[in-house]
Amino acid sequence: MEYVTLSNNVKVPVLGIGTFMISPEDTEESVYTALKGGYRMIDTANAYMNEEAAGRGLARAVKEGIVKREDVFVSTKIWPTLYEKENAVEDTLKRLGLDFVDLLFIHQPAGNFTAGYQLIERAYREGKARSLGISNMHDEKLEKLLAAAEVLPHVIQLETHPYCTEKEIMGRLASCGTKLMGWYPLGHGDPGLLKEEIFTKLADKYHKSGAQIVLRWHTQMGFMTIPGSKNPDHIRDNINIFDFLLIDEEMAEIAKLDGTRKYYTADNATEEKYATMHLPFEG
Ligand SMILES: NC(=O)c1ccc[n+]([C@@H]2O[C@H](COP(=O)([O-])OP(=O)(O)OC[C@H]3O[C@@H](n4cnc5c(N)ncnc54)[C@H](OP(=O)(O)O)[C@@H]3O)[C@@H](O)[C@H]2O)c1
């Protein structure tokens, strides 16, 4: 495994397992399978409705002696409807069955996100989160958050893949020391991305799949990456990327795809809807 070091010196495995749109049953299995296969990072969120299941997968691996809790990097995200709830972080930890998380995000730039950020800053000070993250923040909202932050965000999660590397936002965040963790690293499974001519060519050269070439590209770009999967073969293949290196010319060829496509864009009105989209467990 390779690692990224955050501005507060916390080390993050460069690759983890994502759990978006994965049912609780599949999440528990995926997390367990991933840990057994050498993964040391799990990404979940309040809104994925699978934090308990992710926690169960981790607890099983700990119980069986496959990993120690402290060797696994767990990240989760507070949903906007919970930004002003006093116990949102404690409830999140309860669902996960953990005393602390390694990275705590506010999930969306919606509602009272500065209050949400203060909530996670408090968790950081209390030792309930080892690092802090923002997600999907941009433009004026990003500036508002940075102006109000006492602890600058260590990580930002943004849609990131060879078609979209968010150079502008990352340029803005360079002086803050904020590192990029990319979501949709495989284009949410888009075969069009994985079968781009360049990836087919490199897959042949390195005896890897298109997905493995794309994931290797993420890590060589310095991005933390969290491919989602409930398929044990994919989970195994996605971590099997550390035995080859793309050369500079190949990285430059892949860079030509940058800026050509984004799978998800939310306008302000869509973003603000998240502030009223209550999660089932809120009652
Ligand atoms: N902060 C945010 O707002 C946000 C938004 C979206 C996602 N995320 C996080 O980012 C993670 C990654 O995003 P994602 O899971 O939506 O998309 P993704 O990782 O780009 O793609 C997942 C899809 O790719 C398929 N896949 C995985 N490995 C493969 C392989 N080796 N070959 C072919 N297909 C493969 C999976 O199917 P199988 O199950 O069949 O393998 C699944 O359909 C999420 O799980 C979540 O943790 C965060």
Task: Give distance in angstroms: CA of 126 to centre of ligand 1.
Answer: 32
Q: Judge whether residue 49 has pLDDT over 90.
A: yes
pLDDT value, residue 283: 76
Domains and their CATH numbers in the chain: 11-276 (3.20.20.100)
- Find out whether the beta carbon of 166 lies less than 6 Å from any atom of ligand 1: no
Cα torsion 203, 206, 212, 213: sign: negative
Q: Where are the alpha helices (DSSP H) in the chain?
A: 24-36, 51-63, 88-96, 113-125, 139-148, 167-173, 191-194, 197-206, 210-220, 232-239, 248-255, 268-273
Q: Which of 66, 70, 75, 68 is nearest to 34 (CA)?
A: 66
Residue nearest to atom 39 of ligand 1 (CA): 229
Beta pairing partners, 135? 157
Tell me: the pLDDT tens digits for 132-147? 999 999 999 999 999 9
Query: How far apart are the C-alpha atoms of 81 and 45, rounded to whole Å?
Result: 13
Buried b (16+ CB within 10 A) or exposed e, 25-53: ebbbbbbbbbbbbebbbbbbbbbbbbbbb
pLDDT, the chain, mean = 97
The amino acid occupying position 248 is D
Q: Is 48 a catalytic residue?
A: yes
Closest Cα to atom 47 of ligand 1: 18
Catalytic annotation, pick one of 39, 48, 83, 274: 48
Tens digits of residue pLDDT in 252-280: 999 999 999 999 999 989 999 999 999 99
Cβ 227 under 6 angstroms from ligand 1: yes
pLDDT at 60 > cutoff 80: yes
Predicted pLDDT at 216: 98
| HSE of 41, CA atoms in CB hemisphere, 13 A | 25
Ligand 1 atom nearest the C-alpha of 189 is 24
Rounded to 10 deg, the angle between the 210-220 and 197-206 helix axes is: 90
